[in-house]
Amino acid sequence: MDRDPQRAGDVDGAQMNSRNKGARGERMWRDQLREAGFEAIRGCQNAGRDAGGGEAPDIICPDLPKIHHEVKFVEKLNLQDAMTQAVRDAKPGQIPIVAHKRSNCDWNVTVRASDWFKILKQTDLVCGS
Task: Read off the pLDDT of residues 66-113 as tens digits, 9 standing for 90 and up.
Answer: 999 999 999 999 999 999 999 999 999 999 999 999 999 999 999 999
Fold of domain 5-121: Trna Endonuclease; Chain: A, domain 1 (3.40.1350)
Long-range residue pairs from 84-90, CB within 8 A, at least 24 positions apart, any chain: 87/112, 89/55, 89/57
Q: How confident is the model at residue 19 (pLDDT cuts 50, 70, 90)?
A: confident
Identify the DSSP state of 36: T
Any residues with CB less than 8 A from the CB of 101 and at least 6 apart, and which? Answer: 25, 28, 72, 73, 107, 108
**What are the boundaries of each domain within the chain?**
5-121
60: phi then psi, degrees, rounded to nearest 5: -110, 120
